[in-house]
Amino acid sequence: MTSVALLVRPGELRAVLGAGRADALDELVAGVVADPGTLGRVFPAAARRTARGELPGGGRIEDAVRVELVAAAASVLTPGALVEELGLVYHHGDADERRAVLLGLSALDDPQVDGSAILLDALRTNDIRLVTAAMGRHARTLSLHDWRHGVLKCLFVGAPLAQVADLAERADDELGAMVRRYVLERQAAGRSVPDDAHLVLELTHPTPPRES
């Protein structure tokens, strides 16, 4: 019932997988469509039954496979039921499975789907992969307060701000003030300041901090 922008077109992904593994993916997708409650059971096995590794155009094969499974569940579940199911998959999954859930949320194109609670959990971790995935397109469901803290978390853990969706549109003076304090604290401690911090300051146009 909810459309998903897949990470890779189905035909392209199956070409990468090859005939046998593509058939396995088709079986997994058909199983989730028939019974979306099986998503949590097939998610861990998805990479083993298909493949792992880099995609030719960038990204991971296992992420693309799992996001297609999210799309299968989204095609038959209501937005509320989908979020509930993804929450269960996320909380019972390992880091790779959690990242795939976050990527799946950012691929969803339905304003009724609100996975912000899942994003906030990811942003409480120090896992760069989870923090980066949490600040994708679905981060628009976060309040401006939580989103600002998400951007700051990216700076703390080293997650690239280039991956933060809507950064230029949502950056405001309050975010600039938060990052300015972060920069001054690092300078006072004699620590280097990441380039991404200066990017935020340029976007929000505060007075540049001076070296003490």
Share of the chain above pLDDT 90, in %: 92
In a domain, 134, yes or no: no
Burial 169-182 (b: 16+ CB within 10 A, else e): ebbeeebbebbbeb
In whole numbers, what is the pLDDT of the chain averaged over residues?
A: 94
Task: Label residue 1 by pLDDT band (50, 70, 90).
Answer: low
In a domain, 60, yes or no: yes
In a domain, 165, yes or no: no
Identity of the amino acid at 67: V
Task: Label residue 212 by pLDDT band (50, 70, 90).
Answer: very low
Task: Label residue 109 by pLDDT band (50, 70, 90).
Answer: confident
DSSP 16-83: HH-HHHHHHHHHHHHHHHH-GGGHHHHHHHHHHHS--SB-TTSSBHHHHHHHHHHHHHHTTS-HHHHH
In a domain, 40, yes or no: yes
C-alpha–C-alpha distance, residues 135 and 61, integer Å: 21
Number of domains in the chain: 1
Other CB atoms within 10 A of residue 86 CB: 27
List the domain range (segments joined by +) for residue 103: 1-113
Judge whether residue 205 has pLDDT over 80: no
What pLDDT is attached to residue 207? 52
Judge whether residue 209 has pLDDT over 90: no
Task: Label residue 98 by pLDDT band (50, 70, 90).
Answer: very high
Share of the chain above pLDDT 70, in %: 96
Judge whether residue 168 has pLDDT over 80: yes
C-alpha–C-alpha distance, residues 203 and 113, integer Å: 29
Q: What is the pLDDT of residues 35-73, one digit of tens each?
A: 999 999 999 999 999 999 999 888 999 999 999 999 999
Judge whether residue 211 has pLDDT over 60: no
In a domain, 91, yes or no: yes
Judge whether residue 2 has pLDDT over 90: no
Query: Are 98 and 132 spatial neighbours (Cβ–Cβ below 8 Å)?
Result: no
Which residue from 90, 94, 99, 143 is spatially nearest to 118, judged by alpha carbons? 90
Q: What is the pLDDT of residues 115-161, one digit of tens each?
A: 999 999 999 999 999 999 999 999 999 999 999 999 999 999 999 99
In a domain, 72, yes or no: yes
What pLDDT is attached to residue 57? 84
pTM value is 0.92
- Long-range residue pairs from 23-32, CB within 8 A, at least 24 positions apart, any chain: 24/49, 24/50, 25/49, 25/50, 25/65, 25/68, 28/65, 28/69, 28/72, 29/68, 29/69, 29/72, 32/69, 32/72, 32/73
